[in-house]
């Protein structure tokens, strides 16, 4: 369960002055459901998810993740979150297995549990063939599997995916979307961000559209279709975002 | 504070560092081979060159002296120089090193001497050129011996004792222990080398573990794990410190070995013994340990400072451009300590790097000023603690971690 309440993040920029990357965003994600954050580049998706993962601290507002406050108990939050993005790379000089073990230990697993967990994940994701290969020698698909194993090693109840398929080929991207579905089916709370409409249509139980740091609308796909009287998600997105987008362009 | 977490980070960073060629080169290979190459290589080269220069028979041109056959005869009999007859353009010949020196005997020199008239014999040489100076030294020595002989003859002729010209003698005698004499000359270099290698050992890991992590995109990965940022920075810091100290330890070790090898080598070659005696340094285990102990807080200071600065950079290259000027910040005080006449004072003992450099000079010379040791150790520890505190603070700043 994730609950964001008035989550805001402001940056100081030398040229442009104060930037509201995320502006008073509130939403709720339920266990066993996928929440999709849809937005253009620079809309505030990454900043929002980074605040949920406690990598960034909110300037205003807060959020609770699995009952823990992101400002008050960031380390507890991180222990219950699996965070995956195309920016979360692997350590090139560690092997696939060492990488997963390192994060298991950082999550406080004892050696016995760790070994069992790692063996289980490597079997399940069919990774035994390259478990002792260094991460810089892995193919993109193997790297993604290792990243997935890394987020799963401590079996977190909450999963946060920041544009997880960005820049991946179709086959690797499918591994990721399959994994996201599996997380939902296992009862985890899942939030993920993307700018790809088809992913949202296929995966999300709830869709939130974000632009210029503001959460503009929220609902399931059928609800949004009804509300905006459009069938196609892309058309809905354009209808929602257009006024703000024009404003930000002239700005 | 969880030592377990710091240990986990440290072990992982160590695994990665040991698999990284660049780290291995800068922390292990360079200190291990720099000293043997520098000291033994240079030392042996110097000994050989000096020896060779002495062995060569230099040509010295004789100008004038037709009416002074005895002097000319004496010069020609001199060992290890070859007297060649006068030709025009002799100055150019010296400059072009075709001949090494020229000696000019004034007309009527011998009869002038006999009549007790004063004359000047001129020796022309190429100053600063080793072989030329050797040649003119030999000629000068011969002429001075000749002059002494004349003086003695004159005194004898007038029935005067030699003490008329030498009422008393003045003599210098060294009472400092032998290691002090060599330490004064070369102690500065040791401190300088240890400090510089400490820095170069820490530099690469400091960049790799901060800016390198940002560049490879693993910073976000590690920040999403439950480890606190303080444990993370401490784990990384201890790895950088290990590299700095490892480099310092290896350099002191290889320095000790190099110097003893050099001592052995020069003891064998007769010609080299005299030339290299100034280079010889006796480094006991006590000296080595005290130099290493003083390097400890310096290593902490370097590791924390380098990490803090490198953390600002987004890429490895950017970090390099920030840290390269740092090398000069370190070299200048370290070199200042090597200047002759710069000695420890209470004020200087508070200047970081310079103080340790000066102290190393003393330690190598076998002097232990305990009050200075205490001041320097404490002040360096204070600077080091401040630098480490700053590094931890920087790791908690989003604007530094996610600079865009």
Distance CA B196, CA B198 (A): 5
Q: Which two tokens stand for residue B86?
A: 């006068």
pLDDT (tens digit, 9 = 90+) per residue, B333-380?
A: 888 887 777 888 888 888 888 888 888 888 877 778 888 889 999 999
Distance CA B278, CA B266 (A): 11
Alpha carbon of residue B298 to chain centroid: 20
Average pLDDT (B85-97) is 86
Min Cα distance B400 → chain A (Å) is 12
CB A24 within 8 Å of CB A214:
yes
According to the model, what pLDDT value does residue B29 have?
86
3-state SS assignment for residue A210? strand
Average pLDDT (B57-73) is 85
**For chain B, percent of residues with pLDDT exceeding 90:** 25
Q: Do B220 and A57 touch (CB under 8 A)?
A: no
Most confident of A67-76, B61-70, B277-286: A67-76
According to the model, what pLDDT value does residue B188 have?
65
Closest CA to A192 of A219, A165, A152, A173: A165
pLDDT (tens digit, 9 = 90+) per residue, A84-132?
A: 987 789 999 999 999 999 999 999 999 999 999 999 999 988 899 999 9
For the structural domain made of B58-164, what CATH number should be given? Answer: 3.40.1710.10
Q: Kindly identify which residue of chain A lies nearest to residue B227, measuring between CA atoms.
A: A106
Q: Considering just the CA atoms, what is the radius of gyration of chain A in Å?
A: 19
Chain A hits for B398, Cβ within 8 Å: 56-57
**Residues listed for chain A:** 251
Q: Kindly identify which residue of chain B lies nearest to residue A49, measuring between CA atoms.
A: B224
pLDDT (tens digit, 9 = 90+) per residue, A41-83?
A: 888 999 999 999 999 999 999 999 999 999 999 999 999 999 9
Q: Kindly identify which residue of chain B lies nearest to residue A98, measuring between CA atoms.
A: B12
pLDDT range class, residue B75, cuts 50, 70, 90: confident
Please say if the pLDDT value at position B277 is more than 60: no
| ipTM over 0.85 threshold | yes
Chain A interface, Cβ < 8 Å to B: 50, 53, 55-57, 75-76, 78-79, 81, 83, 85, 87-94, 98, 102-103, 105-108, 134, 150
According to the model, what pLDDT value does residue B276 have?
47
Q: Kindly identify which residue of chain B lies nearest to residue A80, measuring between CA atoms.
A: B226
Q: Which candidate in A93, A133, A134, A158 is best for mutational testing of the B interface (most B CBs within 10 A)?
A: A93
pLDDT range class, residue B274, cuts 50, 70, 90: very low
Flag the least confident range among B27-36, B137-146, B304-313: B27-36
3-state SS assignment for residue B325? helix
Question: What are the φ and ψ backbone dihedral angles of A7, each rounded to 5 degrees?
Answer: -65, 125
Distance CA B401, CA B404 (A): 9
**For chain A, percent of residues with pLDDT exceeding 70:** 97
According to the model, what pLDDT value does residue B86 have?
85
DSSP β-bridge partners for residue B336? none
Chain A hits for B396, Cβ within 8 Å: none
Q: Kindly identify which residue of chain B lies nearest to residue A83, measuring between CA atoms.
A: B224
Beta strands at A34-38 and A206-211: parallel, antiparallel or unpaired:
parallel
Alpha carbon of residue A58 to chain centroid: 17
User: What is the pLDDT of chain A when averaged over all its residues?
Assistant: 91
Average pLDDT (B89-97) is 86
Please say if the pLDDT value at position B262 is more than 70: no
Please say if the pLDDT value at position B209 is more than 60: yes
Q: Which candidate in B225, B227, B234, B399 is best for mutational testing of the A interface (most A CBs within 10 A)?
A: B225
- Give the DSSP letter of residue A6: E
Please say if the pLDDT value at position B42 is more than 50: yes
Distance CA A185, CA A177 (A): 13
According to the model, what pLDDT value does residue B82 have?
85
According to the model, what pLDDT value does residue B287 have?
76
Please say if the pLDDT value at position B19 is more than 70: yes
pLDDT range class, residue B249, cuts 50, 70, 90: confident
What is the value of pTM for the model shown? 0.80
Alpha carbon of residue A10 to chain centroid: 20
Alpha carbon of residue A92 to chain centroid: 23
According to the model, what pLDDT value does residue A117 have?
93
Interacting residues of A135 by C-beta distance below 8 A, sequence separation 6+: A90, A91, A92, A93, A94, A95, A96, A99, A143, A146
3-state SS assignment for residue A64? strand
Q: Considering just the CA atoms, what is the radius of gyration of chain B in Å?
A: 31
- Give the DSSP letter of residue A136: G
DSSP β-bridge partners for residue A9? A22
Domain definitions of chain B by residue range: 3-47+177-401, 58-164
pLDDT range class, residue A248, cuts 50, 70, 90: low
Residue with the larger pLDDT of the pair B49 and A165? A165
Q: Which of A78, A87, A92 minimises the CB distance to B226?
A: A78
Average pLDDT (B226-251) is 91
CA distances from A224 to A210, A216, B378 (A): 14, 12, 68
Q: Do B226 and A89 touch (CB under 8 A)?
A: no
According to the model, what pLDDT value does residue B227 have?
92
Please say if the pLDDT value at position B101 is more than 60: yes
Q: Which candidate in A51, A102, A132 is best for mutational testing of the B interface (most B CBs within 10 A)?
A: A102
Q: Do B226 and A75 touch (CB under 8 A)?
A: yes
Min Cα distance B297 → chain A (Å) is 29
pLDDT range class, residue B222, cuts 50, 70, 90: very high
Please say if the pLDDT value at position B155 is more than 50: yes
Q: Which of B217, B223, B227 minimises the CB distance to A55?
A: B223
Q: Which of B9, B224, B398 minimises the CB distance to A88?
A: B224
pLDDT range class, residue A171, cuts 50, 70, 90: confident
Q: Which two tokens stand for residue B375?
A: 């001041």
According to the model, what pLDDT value does residue B278 have?
46
pLDDT range class, residue B164, cuts 50, 70, 90: confident
């Amino acid at each position: 369960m994730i609950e964001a309440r008035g989550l805001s993040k402001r940056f100081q920029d030398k040229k442009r002055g104060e930037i509201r990357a995320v502006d008073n965003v509130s939403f709720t994600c339920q266990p066993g459901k996928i929440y999709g954050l849809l937005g253009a580049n620079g809309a505030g998706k990454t900043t929002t998810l980074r605040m949920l993962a406690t990598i960034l601290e909110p300037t205003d507002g807060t959020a609770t993740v699995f009952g823990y406050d992101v400002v008050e108990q960031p380390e507890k939050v991180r222990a219950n979150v699996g965070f995956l993005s195309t920016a979360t790379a692997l350590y090139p000089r560690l092997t696939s297995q060492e990488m997963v073990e390192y994060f298991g230990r950082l999550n406080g697993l004892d050696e016995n549990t760790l070994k069992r967990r790692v063996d289980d994940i490597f079997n399940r994701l069919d990774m035994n063939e390259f478990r002792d290969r260094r991460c810089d020698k892995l193919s993109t698909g193997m790297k993604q599997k290792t990243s997935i194993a890394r987020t799963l090693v401590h079996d977190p109840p909450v999963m946060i995916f920041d544009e997880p398929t960005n820049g991946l080929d179709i086959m690797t991207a499918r591994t990721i979307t399959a994994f996201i579905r599996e997380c939902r089916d296992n009862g985890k709370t899942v939030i993920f961000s993307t700018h790809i409409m088809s992913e949202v249509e296929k995966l999300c139980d709830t869709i939130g559209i974000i632009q210029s740091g503001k959460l503009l609308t929220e609902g399931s796909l059928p609800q949004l279709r009804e509300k905006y009287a459009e069938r196609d998600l892309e058309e809905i997105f354009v209808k929602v975002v257009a006024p703000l987008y024009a404003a930000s362009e002239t700005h | 504070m969880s030592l377990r977490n710091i240990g986990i980070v440290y072990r992982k960073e160590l695994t990665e560092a040991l698999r990284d060629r660049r780290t291995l080169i800068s922390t292990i290979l360079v200190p291990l081979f720099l000293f043997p190459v520098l000291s033994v290589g240079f030392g042996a080269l110097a000994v050989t060159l000096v020896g060779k220069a002495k062995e060569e028979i230099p040509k010295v041109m004789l100008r004038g002296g037709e009416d002074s056959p005895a002097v000319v005869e004496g010069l020609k009999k001199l060992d290890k120089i070859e007297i060649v007859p006068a030709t025009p353009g002799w100055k150019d010949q010296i400059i072009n090193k075709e001949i090494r020196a020229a000696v000019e005997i004034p007309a009527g020199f011998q009869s002038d001497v006999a009549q007790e008239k004063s004359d000047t014999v001129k020796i022309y040489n190429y100053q600063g050129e080793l072989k030329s100076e050797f040649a003119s030294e030999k000629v000068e020595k011969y002429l001075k011996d000749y002059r002494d002989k004349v003086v003695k003859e004159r005194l004898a002729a007038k029935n005067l004792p030699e003490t008329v010209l030498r009422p008393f003698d003045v003599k210098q005698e060294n009472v400092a222990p032998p290691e002090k004499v060599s330490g004064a000359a070369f102690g500065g270099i040791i401190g300088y080398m240890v400090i510089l290698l400490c820095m170069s050992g820490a530099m690469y890991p400091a960049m790799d573990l901060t800016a390198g992590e940002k560049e490879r995109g693993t910073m976000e990965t590690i920040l999403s794990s439950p480890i606190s940022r303080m444990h993370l920075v401490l784990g990384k810091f201890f790895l950088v410190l290990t590299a700095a100290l490892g480099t310092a330890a290896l350099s002191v070790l290889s320095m000790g070995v190099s110097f003893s090898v050099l001592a052995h080598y020069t003891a064998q070659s007769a010609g080299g013994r005299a030339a290299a005696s100034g280079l010889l340094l006796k480094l006991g285990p006590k000296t080595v340990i005290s130099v290493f102990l003083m390097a400890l807080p310096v290593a902490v200071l370097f590791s924390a400072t380098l990490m803090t600065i490198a953390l600002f950079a987004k890429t490895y290259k950017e970090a390099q451009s920030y840290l390269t000027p740092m090398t000069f910040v370190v070299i200048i005080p370290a070199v200042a300590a090597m200047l002759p006449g710069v000695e420890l004072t209470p004020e200087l003992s508070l200047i970081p790097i310079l103080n340790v450099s000066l102290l190393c000079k003393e330690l190598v010379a076998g002097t232990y000023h305990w009050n200075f040791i205490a001041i320097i150790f404490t002040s360096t520890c204070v600077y080091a603690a401040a630098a480490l505190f700053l590094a931890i603070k920087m790791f908690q700043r989003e604007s530094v971690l996610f600079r865009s």
